[in-house]
Amino acid sequence: MLKTTLIEAAQAGAAEILRYFHGEFRIDNKEGVNNLVTEADHASEKAILSVIRSAYPDHQILAEESGAHEQSHAYKWIIDPIDGTVNFAHRIPLNAVSIAIEKNGEVIMGVVYNPHINELFFAEKGEGAFLNDKPIRVSTETRAIKACLVTGFPYTYIDQPNGPLDVFARFVKKGVPVRRLGSAAIDLCWVAAGRFDGFFEHKLEPWDSAAGMLMVQEAGGTVTNHQGETFSIYEHPLLASNGHIHEELVGVINNTRTL
């Protein structure tokens, strides 16, 4: 029942994404330059919440646009109605619905759905990760210098010491390809699927990382903070990899080793 509702909620949100994508919609700005929110974000979130509330009216909700809907319940739904809103606003089809389910503080299930290319990623704790119902695994690359990485940049404090630009430069100056897709949820899923070998970002929110984190873990990868310690979706810095290159990536990010 949980899985069915989770997928139905993602599909409902995705239908709103597609409905607005080629039409007209209002765009507003949140804190920070180009930190956008659109009519479609609100419509997608409303559709997602409708599905969840119909099935589980007493569950907790943490949604990007409407915030926390507190309830005294073990289950919490963590929702990003459009991860990659800037892409969406510019008609770039790299954006997705991302929804995770947390039970007693542990993420147990997640879905990330990019309807533009019909890719639905699903993971369940202890049961593996899947793309359109087919199992996925992380890559087998063992050297960071040979890796293909992906990252993102926050809307604030980008120039902090040892910040996003400094870390990015350490990799690209050594010739390591580092992509920037504009959707952390998709980045994490593509690590899980073996398309990227690693992903790092300095400032993510729970709705950005929760579903994708589980995807990487269930596909055999590793997710930590930037110090290589246990990651919580309620802290900002995240590092995900295939596991083989994780220690190297931690060293480069913290400027304690070079490639």
pLDDT digits (tens, 9 = 90+) for 105-153: 999 999 999 999 999 999 999 999 999 999 999 999 999 999 999 999 8
d(CA 220, CA 229): 17
Q: Is 43 or 24 the better-scoring residue by pLDDT? A: 43
pLDDT digits (tens, 9 = 90+) for 41-84: 999 999 999 999 999 999 999 998 877 777 778 999 999 999 99
pLDDT value at position 34?
Answer: 66
pTM: 0.95
Residue 33 confidence (pLDDT) above 80:
no
Which domains does the chain carry?
A: 2-135 (3.30.540.10), 144-253 (3.40.190.80)
Residue 14 confidence (pLDDT) above 80:
yes
Amino acid at 117: I
Cβ distance 136 to 112 under 8 Å? Answer: no
pLDDT value at position 157?
Answer: 62
d(CA 223, CA 183): 17
pLDDT value at position 24?
Answer: 85
pLDDT digits (tens, 9 = 90+) for 183-212: 999 999 999 999 999 999 999 999 999 999
Q: Sign of the CA dihedral 34, 40, 43, 48?
A: negative
HEC assignment per residue over 116-139:
CCCEEEEEECCCEEEECCEECCCC
pLDDT value at position 88?
Answer: 95
pLDDT value at position 154?
Answer: 82
3-state SS, residue 20: helix
d(CA 198, CA 189): 11
Beta bridge partners of 205: none
pLDDT value at position 158?
Answer: 62
d(CA 149, CA 201): 11
